[in-house]
A and B are shown apart, each in its own frame.
Chain A
Amino acid sequence: MSKISILGLYDNPDSAADALDALSESGFDSNNFDVLTGTPYPEGAFGEHVPQHRLFRFPLFGAIVGLTLSVFLTSTTQIVYPLITGGKPILSIFAMLVIMYEMTMLSAVITTVIGILFESRLPNISMNVYDTRITEGLIGVSLVCTSDKKETAERALNGAGAMEIKSSGR
């Protein structure tokens, strides 16, 4: 059976929250519907369920990679070109520290940004059904379901006071 994407548009947060409740009551899995806003709202404002993210692992991983790379870079370049400057030892830990620090941080930042995109599921190529008025203040409740459940979904969305309902097959 083909999957379709449905979007209900609401002009206030309470109706959108009601729509989420109605969808749950109609037996839809909370992983299949989502609320779309143009503004960040406090967590749980629509009674939505957001799974725990694992963003904090990314910088840790990046830091370890960056540190390893920098230790390799700083030590090998000094060993293969053993030029004594200013009476310093060939492996000058304090000079290496600076490079190690910067490369560790750089790698942590890059992996964090990768982590942010990954955990936000971006880039998101299939936009499903969408309405540009969401970035103008309307609140969208979007749902992916099989086409036989379209009517149930629309009933639930309408029951909560949807201004408009859009759908698209996929």
Chain B
Amino acid sequence: MIEVPVTNNTEKFNSATNSLVSTTKEPLGGKLKLIFGIFGVLSVIGIISLILKITTLGFDAKSGWGYYAAVVSLLLGVFGTAPMVAIAPTIAKADWHRPVSRIATMFTLAGISTSILAIPLIFALPPLVVDGIRRRSIWFDANIYTPHVFFGIAVIGLFLVGLGLLWVTSIPDMAIMRDHSSGWKQRLGKSLSRGFVGTEGQWISLRARIGMMGTFYFMFLIFVHIIYSICFSLELVAGWKDAIYPMYHAATGIQSGVATVIIGLFLFRKYWKLEDHIGIDQFWALSKLMFATTIFWFYFFICAFMIFWYGKSAINEMTIAILVNGPYMPVFIGTLLLSFIVPWWIIIWNPVRYSPWMLSVVATIVLIGSLLDRIRLYVISWQVYSDEMIHKRYIPLDEIPENMIAPSIFDIGIFIGFVSLGIFAILLATRFIPVVSIWERHQSILLTRHIKFHRTEVYAVGKPD
């Protein structure tokens, strides 16, 4: 057995603490204010667009809400599933996630956008009884506003659990902010760290709380994806019966979440100068996740498509027309290319997986693919909905619209504005919460070593539990 020398890590700990605490000060010099300004203005534009959309469109014109629903779905993936990149490897006891987990968890803050956007959509969703007849629903004979209430609770619950997760995982860093900063940051650190001084009992309870909050978040997330995908698209199309769809929605959401984290990691690493803390290993590990989720896109898609294509009944043919070769065929082809073929073909090459820059390009492609995917699924669902059609067994092929509808100016404003609002919330938080978790960085320093192994050098990782 090779000997591992005992080292004194105090100096490394101090240097990591100082450099990471300093990122909360002025990471970009004066430019940060400008960036805050830009995202702030865009956020305001988003909120104004939302108000104008509600006042001019109302909730009855269902086809006008398709793009809006697509944006909510996209954000549930992009912002909502990003924290999974921190939770899943923690549960699997992987060691690469430590420098990534804070950035991934901070996307819970961007959930503010999703929560605000979700509320008007609840009002646009038709009740379970339409024209005196109960429509098909997974809620069967429940109260006619059950999906509205449950989704509302779930999406706000997801945001709150997310905030809880971010807080719990940041407690030791709050204590560091309490001890190593001044003014409002010190006061905030003091109140949020809840007297954390790092006793053994506190660490044990912290780990238990992180595990619990992570599991809660995951369960809420899957619940939200299941309800949203079923109630806000599938149930609006008479005859669309697709048991894999909620899982497709969640899996593709995770694909976009991984892409978001890659881009976030790349930008923070570059502009916050975190090269010492975030290595290539992190990108390498994330690339594997992205590869897997990209293949999932195709797998879940083909699982459904095969069944419809083989079934060839009128219902099956209608479903294919709605999802694949109908009016939104160009969007579908775009999705197939950008969510699967192009990223798969690029990411299969080893050098790409070692390059943060190339990976970020792939991640951007994936995000565009995700947007197109959500458009193909949601816009037509709201477009074909009508109070008469919903009670039919299925939509006859000749009644499927021939043309796509275009997004309104408000839809575009909402999309840009609320994505900006999410980014704005994260940037605001970076003024107080270090973007790389200091305590996990300390853990990395403590548990990883480059050691001499006869004539070579190897990397050794401690696995305490």
Asked whether the complex places CB atoms of A and B closer than 8 A, the reply is yes
Chain A residues at the B interface, C-beta cutoff of 8 Å? 13-14, 17, 41-47, 86-88, 94
Assembled-state Cα–Cα distance A14/B2 (Å): 12
Question: Once the chains bind, are B310 and A86 in contact (CB under 8 Å)?
Answer: yes
Q: Does B453 contact A (CB under 8 A)?
A: yes
B: interface residue count bin? 10 to 19
Shortest CB–CB separation between residue B319 and chain A, in angstroms?
15
Q: Is the CB of A86 within 8 A of B312?
A: yes
Bound-state Cα–Cα, A17 to B455, Å: 7
Which chain A residues lie closer than 8 Å to B312 at the CB level? 86-88
Q: Which of A42, A86, A87, A88 contacts B453 (CB 8 A)?
A: A42
Q: Could you show 18 A-B contacts with beta carbons less than 8 Å apart?
A: A13-B454, A17-B454, A41-B454, A42-B453, A42-B456, A42-B458, A43-B456, A44-B455, A44-B456, A45-B453, A45-B454, A45-B456, A47-B454, A86-B310, A86-B312, A87-B312, A94-B305, A94-B306
Q: How far is the CA of A14 from the CA of B453 in the complex (A)?
A: 10
Q: Which residues of B contact A13 (CB under 8 A)?
A: 454
> Which secondary structure dominates where chain B touches chain A?
mixed
Contact mask for chain B residues 309-329; partner A; CB cutoff 8 A; 1 contact, 0 none: 110100000000000000000
A82 vs B446: C-alpha distance when bound (angstroms): 68
Nearest CB to that of B305 among chain A residues? A94
Which residues of chain B have a CB within 8 Å of any CB of chain A?
305-306, 309-310, 312, 453-456, 458
Contacts of B306 in A (CB 8 A): 94
Chain B neighbourhood of A14, CB < 8 A:
454
Question: In the complex, given contacts A42-B453, A44-B456, A86-B310, what are 6 additional A-B residue pairs having Cβ atoms less than 8 angstroms apart?
Answer: A41-B454, A42-B456, A45-B454, A45-B455, A47-B455, A47-B456
CB-CB under 8 A from B309, the residues of chain A are 94
**Nearest-CB distance from B63 to chain A (Å)?**
31
Contact yes or no, A46 B310, CB < 8 A: no
Query: In the complex, how many angstroms separate the beta carbon of B459 from the nearest chain A beta carbon?
Result: 10
Cβ contacts under 8 Å, A86 to chain B:
310, 312
In the A-B complex, list the 8 residue pairs whose CB atoms are closest, starting with the nearest: A44-B456, A47-B455, A45-B454, A13-B454, A17-B455, A42-B458, A45-B456, A17-B454
Chain A residue, CB-CB nearest to B456: A44
Residue of B whose beta carbon sits closest to that of A44: B456
List residues of chain A with CB within 8 A of the CB of B458: 42
Complex: how many Å from CA A143 to CA B170? 58
- Given the complex, which residues of A lie within 8 Å of B305, measured CB to CB? 94
Q: Complex: how many Å from CA A47 to CA B306? A: 54
Q: In the assembly, what is the distance between CA of A75 and CA of B306, in Å?
A: 19
Chain A residues within an 8 Å CB radius of B310? 86, 94
